[in-house]
Amino acid sequence: DSIVRVGVFGTDPGVRVLQRYTTDRALVRRALATLMPVGVAADEQKAERNDELLARRRELHGQQEGAQVDLGAGVGASLASRASEIGERESELRLVQTELNMVRSFENFDREHQGYDTTIALSRIVQSLAYYPGRKTIVFFSEGLPVSPVLSAKLDYTIDAANQANVTVYVVDANGLRAKSGLTPARKEIDAFAEERFTQVSSGSDATQQPLSIAFERVQDTLKLDSRTGLARLAEETGGFLVEQSNDLASAFRRIDEDNRFHYLLTYSPKNTTFDGKFRAIQVKVRRPAAQVFARKGYRAVRAFPTADAASYETPALALLDRAPLPNAFPVHAAGFSFPDPARPGLTPVLVHVSTASLRFSVDRARSTYSAQAAVVVRIRDADGHAAQTVSQQYLLTGDAKDVDAAKKGEILFYREPDLGPGVYTMETIVFDANAQQGSARTATLTVPAPERTAFTMSSLVLVNRAEEVGKAPAGAGPLYVGRTLLYPNLGEPIGHSASPELTFYFTLYGDARTVKAYAQLLRNGRALAEAPVELPPATGSRIQHVGRLPIGALPPGTYELRIRAVDGGRELSRTAFFTLQE
């Protein structure tokens, strides 16, 4: 179809754009001609070396058994010679076994990471298609996608994201018609496992120098890591199919084209409208006998899907964030600030504070330990409602059960420094308590000003909860460092009269601010109560950092507004911050 746009991407390493989406078939063919398989030769070499080591070990074991029999009949010099040969073979056996263990250790490490880059790249391609309406198709050529325990979660994410974006994946096994069975590695591992077990039983020793359970787990992993397993899951669970054991690409593409041209679109409204992040299974049946149905297997109940590199702890948190009304199970404070440093004009520190007393702690009496789990996720949406950035952190709190009361008196302070382009954003924050399966959400507006090279700019106005002296500010210290002092912002917490008779505030001017005059104004209910000039310190480099104090001891309880105006000739900038005083 001439109106169908086709893009060509490489996925190892990362995402390589070989051809952007186009209707020009000549460009597509040219991009396809540049694709090259990677990593196959190295895998084959490792497999061959493993086979050589196993064969040599088997040969040495046989020679040792024969030598042991001959040794019983030997005498004198013959006995000494045979004993020496047995010792040499035993040394070689240990060297062979050591190399085998090294090869297998590397394989275990490699399996934990195999396919990680591929699944991340696929997820990003899926996300790029999510903005387009209708049904989309990915034809994925791969020599294998093993499903290691680490990779399995990433593959699940890719499948869920594809279903959410209405993307069907067709997979073509690039190995084509195989000369060897795909289960050959598994068979070899089973044979090696049986051989090792027989050796241990017959000799009464641990010939492998490893627990037998490791060998058994390796056999299980090899079965799971059959490259077809991941490819089949990716295709079948997104409504596509796997093309394997064939060198006929023309036939494969005819099947894919037919499936794209002749398909049914079914829709339904689920009775369960809760966005809880759980998987909802879907099964499509037809009455026609012997008919084969290709359809997605289900979907994840989330309103907006997390990013490709999202951690698993984000999913239930984001599911809560998409609920209406927003959850509010315990107190949470969050805020974002703009610090338009010329080197990083979009610098936007975000902070979230929650007391650990709000979390549910589980105490294991048998082990005398406590545990709590919390996740902080901040999603920043642009003016069009699209997720511009998501930042997060998981907190695992553990310790001795006797210290649980002290742990409940702590606090979690989340801090990140995302860079955003000019514009107005919505900052959505969720703190999720995994033990209690509940959370609290907050929303706020962030404004990132456009950079101006010819005039001064101004940061947000930050109210300070407390300050901490540090021995030396770290290299590349963030905007909340003033010299050797680290400022901790007030994120909206009420301020008690007894805490301090003064309120500390902070802001930064960037650019040429030598002639800028600043004024502080206190307001309540929009009415000005007082105004005074602010004496600015000398500039340090291209910025002026000012820390000031506002007397609040005589003010009655209530909500107030502090406004700072910076004036230079006809240019004026102002920033405001609200605070609440309580007895």
* Residues of the chain scoring pLDDT < 70: 1-2, 12-14, 36-47, 64-83, 101-115, 146-150, 176-228, 303-312, 473, 475-476
One-letter amino acid identity for 285?
Answer: K
In the structure encoding, which two tokens stand for residue 337, read together? Answer: 């600030």
Q: What pLDDT score was predicted for residue 207?
A: 47
- How far is Cα 543 from Cα 456, in angstroms, rounded to an integer? 9
In 178-300, DSSP assigns E strands to 242-243, 279-281, 298-300
Element (H, E) at 562: strand 558-568
Neighbours of 61 (CB within 10 A): 18
| Cis peptide bond upstream of 13, omega within 30 | yes
In the structure encoding, which two tokens stand for residue 487, read together? Answer: 């400022």
In the structure encoding, which two tokens stand for residue 581, read together? Answer: 């005083």
Q: How far does CA 444 lie from the centroid of its chain?
A: 24
- How far is Cα 55 from Cα 53, in angstroms, rounded to an integer? 5
Structure-token match 């009415």, residue found: 527
Classify domain 452-583 at the CATH topology level.
Immunoglobulin-like (2.60.40)
- How far is Cα 275 from Cα 323, in angstroms, rounded to an integer? 6
- How far is Cα 144 from Cα 340, in angstroms, rounded to an integer? 47
- How far is Cα 488 from Cα 351, in angstroms, rounded to an integer? 10
User: What class has domain 311-449?
Assistant: mainly beta
Q: What pLDDT score was predicted for residue 2?
A: 60
Q: What pLDDT score was predicted for residue 41?
A: 47
Q: What pLDDT score was predicted for residue 1?
A: 56
| Cis peptide bond upstream of 479, omega within 30 | no
- How far is Cα 72 from Cα 55, in angstroms, rounded to an integer? 27
Sheet holding 558-568, edge to edge: 495-496, 571-582, 558-568, 517-524, 527-534
Q: DSSP letters along 378-405, please?
A: EEEE-TTS-EEEEEEEEEEEEEEGGGHH
- How far is Cα 22 from Cα 5, in angstroms, rounded to an integer? 5
Please check whether the two domains, 311-449 and 452-583, share a CATH topology: yes
Q: What pLDDT score was predicted for residue 498?
A: 73
Q: What is the pLDDT of residues 132-159, one digit of tens each?
A: 778 889 999 887 776 666 677 778 888 8
Q: What pLDDT score was predicted for residue 385?
A: 87
Q: What is the pLDDT of residues 300-332, one digit of tens each?
A: 777 665 555 555 688 888 888 888 889 999 999
* Domain map (residue ranges) of the chain: 1-36, 50-113+183-224, 115-179+226-299, 311-449, 452-583
One-letter amino acid identity for 382?
Answer: D
